[in-house]
Amino acid sequence: MTISDKKLIEQLEREKLLFDEMLALSERQLLLFGDTEQPEDEVATIFEALIDEREIQMGLIDGIQDGIKEMVADPGYQEVLDRYRRELEFTIISIQHNDQQVLQLAKKTMSVFGEKLQAARHNKKAYQAYYGEVDTGGKGWFIDRKK
């Protein structure tokens, strides 16, 4: 095995490790949305951090893949590359599966976030009108109904 063979295998192993880390991140995202006891604001913060971590991993993978493309211009390396790609296929499919589930769970959760945000905006508008911070056009916004 030549130095360039070792270097290629080293890069492919590093790429595989990064994909394994991305799979672990996707599993953490899935578990995050499955945790009904976690406060929603914490879920959003943690989810954003996990997305940032995945973006870093993807950037590193892109860099490795660019280097691999240069190395495998020689057709003799294609067999090694194909073997590693087949090994990665299961990991990539697992990541995609987790992402689909996270997307569905996130849509449900985000609709709850959206409703709460809308209610908060409405409450803020009412608060501002009540204390005269917003021009109500001279019309009252509040009606007390006491019976």
Token pair 């006491």 in the structure block, residue:
146
Distances (CA, A) of 137 to 48, 129, 134, 140: 41, 10, 9, 8
Assessment of whether the complete model's pTM goes beyond 0.85: no
Q: What is the pLDDT along the chain (147 residues), one digit of tens a residue?
A: 566 778 888 999 999 999 999 999 999 998 988 777 878 778 888 888 998 999 999 899 999 888 888 777 777 778 888 888 898 999 999 999 999 888 888 777 767 665 665 666 666 565 555 555 555 555 554 544 454
Asked if 91 and 23 count as a contact pair (C-beta separation under 8 A), the reply is yes
How many whole angstroms separate alpha carbon 32 and alpha carbon 44? Answer: 9
